[in-house]
Amino acid sequence: MLKVGVPDAVDPDLLRLLPEGISLELIPLQPERTVEVEFWITPPWTHQSEQQFPFLHGLRVAQATVAGVDGLLKLIPPDVVLCDARGVHTISTAEWTVAAILASTKYFPLFDDLRHTGVWARRKEAQERYYSLHPPVKRPYPHVLCEELHGQRVLIVGYGAIGRAIEERLQPFGVQFVRIARTVRDGVFGVEELPDLLPSADVVILIVPFTRETTHMIGERELALMKQGALLVNAARGPVVQTDALLAALHQGRIRAAIDVTDPEPLPDAHPLWSAPNLLITPHVAGSTPMFMVRAMEFAASQIGRYLRREPLENVVSGEY
Protein backbone atom coordinates (compact mmCIF):
# COMPACT_ATOMS: atom_id res chain seq x y z
CA MET A 1 0.00 0.00 0.00
CA LEU A 2 1.31 3.45 -0.93
CA LYS A 3 2.45 5.41 2.13
CA VAL A 4 1.61 9.09 1.78
CA GLY A 5 2.99 11.71 4.15
CA VAL A 6 0.95 14.85 4.86
CA PRO A 7 1.62 17.67 7.36
CA ASP A 8 -0.54 17.06 10.40
CA ALA A 9 -1.64 20.71 10.32
CA VAL A 10 -3.72 20.11 7.19
CA ASP A 11 -7.47 20.31 7.80
CA PRO A 12 -8.79 16.73 8.27
CA ASP A 13 -11.69 17.54 5.92
CA LEU A 14 -9.18 18.10 3.12
CA LEU A 15 -7.62 14.69 3.70
CA ARG A 16 -10.88 13.17 2.45
CA LEU A 17 -9.95 14.47 -0.99
CA LEU A 18 -7.12 11.93 -1.19
CA PRO A 19 -7.88 8.66 -3.02
CA GLU A 20 -8.54 5.35 -1.33
CA GLY A 21 -5.94 2.63 -1.31
CA ILE A 22 -3.23 4.60 0.49
CA SER A 23 -1.76 4.55 3.97
CA LEU A 24 -1.82 8.08 5.36
CA GLU A 25 0.99 9.27 7.65
CA LEU A 26 0.35 12.56 9.44
CA ILE A 27 3.74 14.21 9.93
CA PRO A 28 4.23 16.81 12.68
CA LEU A 29 5.74 20.10 11.52
CA GLN A 30 8.57 19.32 13.95
CA PRO A 31 8.97 15.51 13.83
CA GLU A 32 10.73 13.56 16.56
CA ARG A 33 10.87 10.15 14.85
CA THR A 34 11.59 8.76 11.39
CA VAL A 35 8.66 8.09 9.08
CA GLU A 36 8.41 5.68 6.14
CA VAL A 37 6.71 7.50 3.25
CA GLU A 38 6.96 7.03 -0.49
CA PHE A 39 4.87 10.04 -1.53
CA TRP A 40 5.25 13.28 0.44
CA ILE A 41 2.88 16.24 0.26
CA THR A 42 5.13 19.04 1.45
CA PRO A 43 4.19 21.89 3.80
CA PRO A 44 3.60 25.27 2.12
CA TRP A 45 6.70 26.85 3.67
CA THR A 46 10.26 25.77 2.91
CA HIS A 47 11.46 26.02 6.51
CA GLN A 48 8.77 23.50 7.55
CA SER A 49 9.81 21.16 4.73
CA GLU A 50 13.40 21.46 5.94
CA GLN A 51 12.26 20.34 9.41
CA GLN A 52 10.32 17.34 8.08
CA PHE A 53 12.61 16.08 5.32
CA PRO A 54 15.43 14.57 7.48
CA PHE A 55 12.87 12.29 9.17
CA LEU A 56 11.51 10.80 5.92
CA HIS A 57 12.70 7.38 4.75
CA GLY A 58 11.90 5.66 1.46
CA LEU A 59 10.83 8.85 -0.26
CA ARG A 60 10.34 8.70 -4.04
CA VAL A 61 8.01 11.62 -4.82
CA ALA A 62 7.79 15.08 -3.25
CA GLN A 63 4.63 16.94 -4.25
CA ALA A 64 4.81 20.64 -3.41
CA THR A 65 1.72 22.54 -2.31
CA VAL A 66 3.02 25.76 -3.90
CA ALA A 67 3.97 26.76 -7.43
CA GLY A 68 7.40 28.17 -6.60
CA VAL A 69 9.80 25.41 -5.58
CA ASP A 70 13.13 27.26 -5.62
CA GLY A 71 13.55 26.47 -1.92
CA LEU A 72 12.67 22.78 -2.32
CA LEU A 73 15.18 22.40 -5.17
CA LYS A 74 17.96 22.89 -2.64
CA LEU A 75 16.44 20.24 -0.35
CA ILE A 76 15.18 17.39 -2.54
CA PRO A 77 17.90 15.00 -3.83
CA PRO A 78 18.08 14.06 -7.54
CA ASP A 79 16.74 10.53 -6.95
CA VAL A 80 13.42 11.93 -5.67
CA VAL A 81 10.87 13.22 -8.19
CA LEU A 82 9.86 16.79 -7.33
CA CYS A 83 6.57 18.19 -8.65
CA ASP A 84 5.40 21.76 -8.24
CA ALA A 85 1.79 22.84 -7.73
CA ARG A 86 1.58 25.10 -10.76
CA GLY A 87 -2.01 26.28 -11.12
CA VAL A 88 -2.84 26.35 -7.41
CA HIS A 89 -2.21 30.11 -7.15
CA THR A 90 -3.41 31.14 -10.61
CA ILE A 91 -6.74 32.69 -9.56
CA SER A 92 -5.54 34.30 -6.33
CA THR A 93 -2.38 35.80 -7.82
CA ALA A 94 -4.22 37.10 -10.87
CA GLU A 95 -6.82 38.75 -8.63
CA TRP A 96 -4.13 40.33 -6.43
CA THR A 97 -2.39 41.71 -9.52
CA VAL A 98 -5.55 43.35 -10.85
CA ALA A 99 -6.38 44.73 -7.39
CA ALA A 100 -2.86 46.14 -7.00
CA ILE A 101 -3.02 47.86 -10.40
CA LEU A 102 -6.42 49.40 -9.67
CA ALA A 103 -5.44 50.47 -6.15
CA SER A 104 -2.32 52.16 -7.52
CA THR A 105 -4.04 53.96 -10.39
CA LYS A 106 -6.88 55.12 -8.13
CA TYR A 107 -4.45 56.19 -5.35
CA PHE A 108 -6.22 54.09 -2.74
CA PRO A 109 -3.22 53.95 -0.35
CA LEU A 110 -3.11 57.76 -0.31
CA PHE A 111 -6.84 58.09 0.24
CA ASP A 112 -6.80 55.45 2.99
CA ASP A 113 -4.16 57.53 4.74
CA LEU A 114 -6.47 60.53 4.28
CA ARG A 115 -9.27 58.58 5.97
CA HIS A 116 -7.12 57.93 9.04
CA THR A 117 -6.23 61.60 9.39
CA GLY A 118 -9.80 62.74 8.76
CA VAL A 119 -8.73 65.76 6.70
CA TRP A 120 -10.76 66.13 3.48
CA ALA A 121 -8.49 68.90 2.18
CA ARG A 122 -5.65 66.42 1.92
CA ARG A 123 -7.21 65.03 -1.25
CA LYS A 124 -5.30 67.74 -3.11
CA GLU A 125 -2.19 65.65 -2.43
CA ALA A 126 -3.47 63.29 -5.13
CA GLN A 127 -3.09 65.97 -7.79
CA GLU A 128 0.49 66.60 -6.67
CA ARG A 129 1.15 62.85 -6.78
CA TYR A 130 -0.17 62.72 -10.33
CA TYR A 131 1.81 65.75 -11.49
CA SER A 132 5.03 64.43 -9.95
CA LEU A 133 4.63 61.15 -11.82
CA HIS A 134 3.39 62.72 -15.06
CA PRO A 135 4.87 66.23 -15.30
CA PRO A 136 2.40 68.25 -17.41
CA VAL A 137 3.18 70.95 -19.95
CA LYS A 138 0.38 72.81 -18.25
CA ARG A 139 -1.89 71.73 -15.43
CA PRO A 140 -5.35 70.62 -16.57
CA TYR A 141 -8.60 72.00 -15.21
CA PRO A 142 -10.15 70.59 -13.12
CA HIS A 143 -7.41 68.86 -11.14
CA VAL A 144 -6.58 65.19 -11.63
CA LEU A 145 -7.25 63.18 -8.46
CA CYS A 146 -6.87 59.64 -9.83
CA GLU A 147 -6.11 57.86 -13.11
CA GLU A 148 -7.82 55.52 -15.54
CA LEU A 149 -6.63 52.07 -16.54
CA HIS A 150 -8.52 52.22 -19.84
CA GLY A 151 -6.23 52.61 -22.84
CA GLN A 152 -3.06 51.77 -20.91
CA ARG A 153 -0.37 49.55 -22.42
CA VAL A 154 0.23 46.54 -20.15
CA LEU A 155 3.41 44.49 -20.52
CA ILE A 156 3.09 40.98 -19.03
CA VAL A 157 6.56 39.54 -18.37
CA GLY A 158 6.03 35.80 -17.94
CA TYR A 159 3.10 34.80 -20.11
CA GLY A 160 2.24 31.45 -18.57
CA ALA A 161 -0.93 30.28 -16.86
CA ILE A 162 -0.99 33.14 -14.36
CA GLY A 163 -0.04 35.68 -17.03
CA ARG A 164 -2.97 34.53 -19.15
CA ALA A 165 -5.31 34.69 -16.14
CA ILE A 166 -4.19 38.26 -15.44
CA GLU A 167 -4.85 39.19 -19.06
CA GLU A 168 -8.33 37.68 -18.96
CA ARG A 169 -9.21 39.74 -15.88
CA LEU A 170 -7.76 42.98 -17.27
CA GLN A 171 -9.35 42.63 -20.70
CA PRO A 172 -12.68 44.27 -19.74
CA PHE A 173 -10.78 47.42 -18.75
CA GLY A 174 -9.88 48.18 -22.35
CA VAL A 175 -6.11 47.92 -22.04
CA GLN A 176 -3.56 46.97 -24.71
CA PHE A 177 -1.44 43.88 -24.02
CA VAL A 178 2.18 43.09 -24.83
CA ARG A 179 3.39 39.65 -23.81
CA ILE A 180 6.85 38.24 -23.01
CA ALA A 181 7.83 34.64 -22.26
CA ARG A 182 10.84 32.34 -22.43
CA THR A 183 9.38 30.67 -25.50
CA VAL A 184 8.63 32.91 -28.48
CA ARG A 185 5.30 32.18 -30.14
CA ASP A 186 2.57 33.95 -32.04
CA GLY A 187 1.71 37.13 -30.15
CA VAL A 188 4.40 36.55 -27.50
CA PHE A 189 7.86 38.15 -27.58
CA GLY A 190 11.04 36.58 -26.22
CA VAL A 191 12.73 37.78 -23.03
CA GLU A 192 15.53 39.32 -25.08
CA GLU A 193 12.99 41.89 -26.35
CA LEU A 194 12.37 43.26 -22.83
CA PRO A 195 14.63 46.35 -23.19
CA ASP A 196 12.87 47.37 -26.40
CA LEU A 197 9.37 46.93 -24.96
CA LEU A 198 9.80 48.60 -21.56
CA PRO A 199 9.81 52.24 -22.76
CA SER A 200 6.30 52.05 -24.20
CA ALA A 201 4.62 50.23 -21.28
CA ASP A 202 2.38 52.03 -18.79
CA VAL A 203 2.15 48.94 -16.55
CA VAL A 204 4.84 46.24 -16.29
CA ILE A 205 3.72 42.99 -14.62
CA LEU A 206 6.36 40.50 -13.47
CA ILE A 207 5.08 36.94 -13.12
CA VAL A 208 8.17 34.84 -13.90
CA PRO A 209 9.64 31.91 -11.94
CA PHE A 210 12.70 32.60 -9.79
CA THR A 211 15.77 31.27 -11.62
CA ARG A 212 19.32 32.39 -12.30
CA GLU A 213 18.09 33.98 -15.51
CA THR A 214 15.34 35.98 -13.79
CA THR A 215 17.41 37.09 -10.79
CA HIS A 216 17.65 40.91 -11.03
CA MET A 217 15.82 40.78 -14.35
CA ILE A 218 14.72 44.31 -13.47
CA GLY A 219 17.67 46.42 -12.36
CA GLU A 220 18.94 49.96 -12.77
CA ARG A 221 19.13 49.70 -16.58
CA GLU A 222 15.61 48.32 -16.98
CA LEU A 223 14.06 50.79 -14.54
CA ALA A 224 15.72 53.65 -16.42
CA LEU A 225 14.13 52.38 -19.63
CA MET A 226 10.62 52.47 -18.16
CA LYS A 227 8.27 55.31 -19.07
CA GLN A 228 8.10 58.20 -16.61
CA GLY A 229 5.35 57.37 -14.08
CA ALA A 230 4.93 53.77 -15.23
CA LEU A 231 3.74 51.17 -12.72
CA LEU A 232 5.90 48.11 -11.93
CA VAL A 233 3.96 45.19 -10.44
CA ASN A 234 5.99 42.34 -8.94
CA ALA A 235 3.87 39.25 -8.29
CA ALA A 236 6.79 36.89 -8.96
CA ARG A 237 9.68 36.70 -6.47
CA GLY A 238 11.52 39.47 -4.67
CA PRO A 239 14.98 38.92 -6.23
CA VAL A 240 13.52 39.35 -9.74
CA VAL A 241 13.83 43.08 -8.98
CA GLN A 242 17.05 44.61 -7.68
CA THR A 243 15.96 46.24 -4.43
CA ASP A 244 18.50 49.09 -4.34
CA ALA A 245 17.69 50.05 -7.93
CA LEU A 246 13.96 49.97 -7.17
CA LEU A 247 14.39 52.18 -4.11
CA ALA A 248 16.40 54.70 -6.12
CA ALA A 249 13.78 54.85 -8.91
CA LEU A 250 10.95 55.28 -6.39
CA HIS A 251 12.69 58.08 -4.51
CA GLN A 252 13.54 59.81 -7.79
CA GLY A 253 9.85 59.74 -8.73
CA ARG A 254 10.75 57.94 -11.95
CA ILE A 255 8.25 55.12 -11.50
CA ARG A 256 5.83 53.68 -8.98
CA ALA A 257 5.46 50.08 -7.90
CA ALA A 258 3.12 47.53 -6.33
CA ILE A 259 4.82 44.48 -4.86
CA ASP A 260 3.74 41.39 -2.94
CA VAL A 261 7.28 40.01 -2.73
CA THR A 262 10.52 41.53 -1.51
CA ASP A 263 14.25 40.95 -1.34
CA PRO A 264 15.06 40.27 1.45
CA GLU A 265 12.01 38.35 2.64
CA PRO A 266 10.58 38.51 5.23
CA LEU A 267 11.18 42.23 4.95
CA PRO A 268 13.00 43.37 8.14
CA ASP A 269 11.47 45.97 10.40
CA ALA A 270 12.38 49.52 9.37
CA HIS A 271 13.70 48.37 5.96
CA PRO A 272 13.73 51.32 3.49
CA LEU A 273 11.04 49.65 1.35
CA TRP A 274 8.48 50.09 4.13
CA SER A 275 8.69 53.88 3.86
CA ALA A 276 9.52 54.25 0.16
CA PRO A 277 7.36 56.74 -1.78
CA ASN A 278 5.17 55.72 -4.70
CA LEU A 279 4.99 52.15 -3.42
CA LEU A 280 2.12 49.81 -2.56
CA ILE A 281 3.44 46.82 -0.63
CA THR A 282 1.75 43.69 0.73
CA PRO A 283 3.70 41.06 2.73
CA HIS A 284 3.53 38.08 0.34
CA VAL A 285 -0.16 37.42 0.81
CA ALA A 286 -1.45 37.03 -2.77
CA GLY A 287 -1.78 33.24 -2.64
CA SER A 288 -3.04 32.96 0.94
CA THR A 289 -6.78 32.63 0.35
CA PRO A 290 -9.22 30.07 1.81
CA MET A 291 -8.96 28.10 -1.46
CA PHE A 292 -5.19 27.71 -1.34
CA MET A 293 -4.97 24.35 0.44
CA VAL A 294 -8.20 23.13 -1.15
CA ARG A 295 -6.66 23.45 -4.61
CA ALA A 296 -3.30 22.15 -3.39
CA MET A 297 -4.83 19.00 -1.91
CA GLU A 298 -7.06 18.47 -4.95
CA PHE A 299 -3.99 18.56 -7.17
CA ALA A 300 -2.03 16.30 -4.80
CA ALA A 301 -4.92 13.83 -4.87
CA SER A 302 -4.86 13.74 -8.65
CA GLN A 303 -1.10 13.20 -8.58
CA ILE A 304 -1.43 10.30 -6.15
CA GLY A 305 -4.02 8.79 -8.49
CA ARG A 306 -1.61 9.03 -11.41
CA TYR A 307 1.15 7.49 -9.33
CA LEU A 308 -1.03 4.57 -8.28
CA ARG A 309 -2.02 3.97 -11.92
CA ARG A 310 1.62 4.26 -12.98
CA GLU A 311 0.79 7.23 -15.19
CA PRO A 312 3.23 10.12 -15.77
CA LEU A 313 3.08 12.77 -13.06
CA GLU A 314 2.32 16.38 -13.96
CA ASN A 315 4.45 19.43 -13.16
CA VAL A 316 7.65 17.41 -12.76
CA VAL A 317 10.56 19.77 -12.12
CA SER A 318 13.67 18.95 -14.09
CA GLY A 319 16.86 20.98 -13.93
CA GLU A 320 16.53 24.54 -12.66
CA TYR A 321 13.00 25.67 -12.02
Distances (CA, A) of 111 to 57, 213, 280: 55, 38, 13
CB distance 233 to 261 below 8 Å: no
Alpha carbon distance 92, 140 (integer Å): 38
Residue 237 is a catalytic residue:
yes
Residue 125 is a catalytic residue:
no
CB distance 69 to 246 below 8 Å: no
The candidate with the shortest Cα–Cα distance to 5, out of 61, 46, 83, is 61
CB distance 211 to 320 below 8 Å: yes
Marked catalytic residue, from 89, 237, 256, 295 = 237
Distances (CA, A) of 276 to 32, 243, 273, 281: 44, 11, 5, 10
Marked catalytic residue, from 169, 254, 271, 284 = 284
Marked catalytic residue, from 36, 265, 311, 320 = 265
106 residue type, one letter = K
CB distance 73 to 144 below 8 Å: no
Alpha carbon distance 274, 280 (integer Å): 9
Residue 284 is a catalytic residue:
yes
Alpha carbon distance 41, 296 (integer Å): 9
Question: Edge-to-edge, what's the strand order for the sheet holding 81-83?
Answer: 22-27, 2-7, 39-41, 61-63, 81-83
Active site (catalytic) residues: 237, 265, 284
